Structure 1
Amino acid sequence: MNASGTTEQTVLLAGLLPPETALIRRLIASFELEALSIDIADLHRAESPIAEKDICLALFHVDAAARRPERDIRLLAELLPRPVPLIVLVPPVLAKRVQTYIAAGADDYSILPLDEDSFSIRFYILLEWGQALLQSPQPTYPWDEHGQQSTKNLWRRLVARLQEGLSFFSPASLVIDEEEDRIFHKWRKIRLLGSGAYGDVWLVQEDGRKELAAAKIPHTAMMNVRTLRSAAILKRLIHHPNIAGLIEVVKEEGMYILIQEYVAGESLDRRLEKGLTATARESLFLQLLSVTAYSHQHRIMHRDIKPENILVTGDGRLKLLDFGIARDLSWEKADAASGGTLNFMAPEQFEGKSCLASDVWAIGVILYVLATGCYPLFHQENPFPAAIDIPCRVPEPHEIDDRVPAALERIIMRCLDPALERRYADAVALREDILKSLPGFGKGLYLPEQTRVEELQT
């Protein structure tokens, strides 16, 4: 009990080594939290040492010498009094087994040794989720006339949606969905907005509310880590007006689902096909530059900036969408995957060496399109981007449209310089140059007026 007479919340440390335990204790030192260390063998005792604890987060150290650590992970997940976030700490020699541990019940993972700066951000995100879970009421199990537990009144609403900057997590592991057209018993599906390689996006509406939202439902629970990390990125960017805000994260049928602000509008490529004035195109590019620079200031790279991931509302507001393959470089490295969309990928991205300047290339491609109506380079879709022979000669914009000003062309070509040392390092540097070199950009002074474009030229 703490001074207020309530049970103290607990962070469970299963099998952690002394340096890992010391790090966790430092991270929770400013909270009223207990750190409970147990041995893995304690999980197999008849009387569980965690049964009476209010556990808000669990960490499990995977022993490289253990024969089947995934069994112990599954056992821990089953022993926890209620569903709480579970992080596994994995030795480098077992890194290839991460998906097995996720399938056994882990929500996220970190490869050892732990770096305090990079690990702490993800730790606090999941700790906040677990604490929000403990603030919700315990489920009740009414008995029906046959003496069986009824599922109708199970834990319907675990965590109320909190306001911006606070918790977004509403785990629903105990909820049995009796209504197929609802997500987490409160988000009613209205219509399918789109489908992709990683999941479906549904237009949804919360019961009792008029506001609409967008639910991103992955195809498989194997996407859980990616979904959680996308949620962490969206949370960090929530205060920027050109980001579709994160409302909450729910867990249903073992999968995490993002519930985001619904933005009514058209994708930028559709708007370009219909035709946009020079003023509108410059205004939209400034908004794109603003949100990308804001992301880069937070060490977040998007890696898939393209017109299809940019939504434009009826009144000309821009929203940058789909942070599914984004990376937060403040706590994780860019992986070696050559993810992205071919016509917007920088040369280094084809080689699996993404960086903030890779986003600069992508928005440089968009600025090139806004100025000329053409792609600077065109690639046929290929499932193996690293195998593509990359031509590096980009036609200068004035070769396509001689109305493009020299100062604007210089900026575009620097964005599209194959050499990283000559390209803008990030969108912050690009924005500074545009505002300095192109005074009044945004008022239609630099991009040539264009007639309606049926399809971008290749």
Structure 2
Amino acid sequence: MVRAADAELRALVGQVVDRRYLLREWIGGGGFGGVFRSEQYVLGRPVRPVACKVSRRGGITEDTAADLFADALVLAEVMGSMTDLEARRHLVHVYDAGLAPELGGRAYLVMEYVRGATLADEFARRQGVVPQRTMVAWARQIAVALRGLHCLVPPLLHRDLKPDNVLLGRDRAVRLIDFGLAARMRAAGHVPGVAGTTRYMAPETAAGASLPASDLYSLGILLYEGLTGRPPYEHLVVPLDLPDRDLGQWLTDAKRKAPPVRPSSVEPSVGPRLDALVMRCLELRPERRFRGADELIEALDELSVPDRPVPAPAPGAGELAAARRHRADGAS
């Protein structure tokens, strides 16, 4: 059933924003407004498909629009200063933003249009586990995006990495989305405050001090879930009356008392090296995880290299060794 508020936004299909963006098709809505598959025009000619977000409210100011699209503006700033070209491929590009008088003073935001679905949708569609090779490829691409964010000065932490916030395009490339909770590291060496989704939240984040390793922990949870079809700590339920200030300690204590089983215990097709990689991401102490996204990427790449077999002894090697021992015994 179409909500009345959405019906008003849907009626904007066919309108042109700022004489450059033709709203062609309704994609979906949310609290902020609606998203349209659109066409960008330059000098009267269509040049590329884009995604156009349009605010639900009209008559708003630039300051209000900046608050509404704060996550996208953070991403735009990041893309402007990021030199890691591989990482840029796994983030969504922001092209334009402004106010549209022709739409009643609504705010609009223009971004890269990516056909696809979130990893949460993909996990649900598969109704089970994701093949190991596919899951490792996705995890590597996410780690590359994190590398780009964490190498900025100061580093930018995503702080809400989960399947809902990873977009899988039809080109099979994944892209991080939703930077609403992203924040730069402070001089103290962490980002203060509790932020994110509890299921994917690192213990130190729940305690109010996020680190780059916190994003790697969240990636480990996502990787475990994709490989096994279930989260590693599905047996834990946070008490409803638990004060926010106690969440970090409660999660750390509960996870220490009831650690997750290795992924291979749930899904036997998971190999021992991938088992170890996932469990290292899930270490409760940040210093015991991978030192950074780069190191995690190296570990993921090594998974594609077959285990080296123990070389067989050369023909006659055993006999030669026995003869040498016999000669040594005779000499003594």
Length-normalised TM-score, structure 2 = 0.67
Aligned partner of residue 421 in structure 1, secondary structure: helix
Q: How far apart, CA to CA, are the structure 2 residues paired with 1:384 and 1:205?
A: 48
- Given the superposition, is the C-alpha separation of residues 199 and 380 from structure 1 closer, same or farther in structure 2, using an over 3 Å criterion? farther
Q: Which whole-Å CA distance do the structure 2 matches of 1:222 and 1:384 have between them? A: 32
Deviations 1:124-156 (A, max 9, x none): xxxxxxxxxxxxxxxxxxxxxxxxxxxxxxxxx
Which position in structure 1 is the counterpart of 2:49?
A: 212
Shift of residue 325, structure 1, vs aligned partner: 1.9
Higher RCO structure (Cα 8 Å, ≥6 apart)? 2
Residue 285 of structure 2 is aligned to residue 419 of structure 1: yes
| CA distance in structure 2 between the aligned counterparts of 1:431 and 1:307, rounded to whole angstroms | 19
Q: Which residue of 1 aligns with 2:198?
A: 342
Superposition deviation, residue 363 in structure 1:
0.7
* CA distance 1:333–1:271, change in 2 (3 Å): same
Q: Which residue of 1 aligns with 2:229?
A: 373
Matched, 1:244 2:104: no
Picking from 267, 272, 281, the partner of 1:406 is 272
1:354 paired with 2:210, answer yes
- Match of 2:8? none
- Which of 284, 305, 310 is 1:440 aligned to? 305
Give the letter aligned to residue 434 of structure 1.
L
Q: Is the 8 A contact 1:249 1:258 kept in 2?
A: yes
Question: Are the equivalent residues in 2 in contact too, given 1:231–1:258 (CA < 8 A)?
Answer: no
Q: CA contact under 8 A between 1:368 and 1:375: conserved in structure 2?
A: yes
Q: Which is helix-richer, 1 or 2?
A: 2
Q: Structure 1: how far apart are the matches of 2:261 and 2:173?
A: 31
For 1:332 and 1:209, the matched residues in 2 are separated by 48
CA contact (8 A) 2:203 2:284 kept: yes
Out of 278, 285, 291, the position equivalent to 2:145 is 291
Match in the other structure for 1:267: 118
Q: Which consecutive residues of structure 2, in runs of 5 or more, have no partner in the other structure?
A: 1-11, 307-332
1:179-198 alignment runs, 5 A limit: 181-196=15-30
User: Take 2:32 and 2:193, find their aligned partners in 1: how far apart are those partners?
Assistant: 15
Once the 2 structures are TM-superposed, how far is the Cα of residue 213 of structure 1 from its aligned partner? 1.2
User: If the length of structure 1 is used for normalisation, what is the TM-score?
Assistant: 0.50
Q: Structure 1: 5+ residue runs without aligned partners?
A: 1-177, 442-458
Shift of 1:222: 4.2
Structure-to-structure mapping, 1:87-98, within 5 angstroms? none
RMSD: 3.5
Task: Tell me if structure 2 keeps the 8 A contact 1:309–1:320.
Answer: yes
Aligned mates of 1:271, 1:213 — CA distance in 2: 23
Look up the SS of the partner of 1:338 in the other structure. coil
Residue 296 (structure 2) aligns with: 430
Q: CA deviation at 1:360?
A: 0.3
What do the CA deviations read for 1:259-311 (whole angstroms, capped 9, x no partner)? 11100012112222333443322222222222222222222211111111222
Change (3 A) 1:255 1:353: farther
Q: Partners in 2 of 1:332 and 1:185 — Cα distance?
A: 47
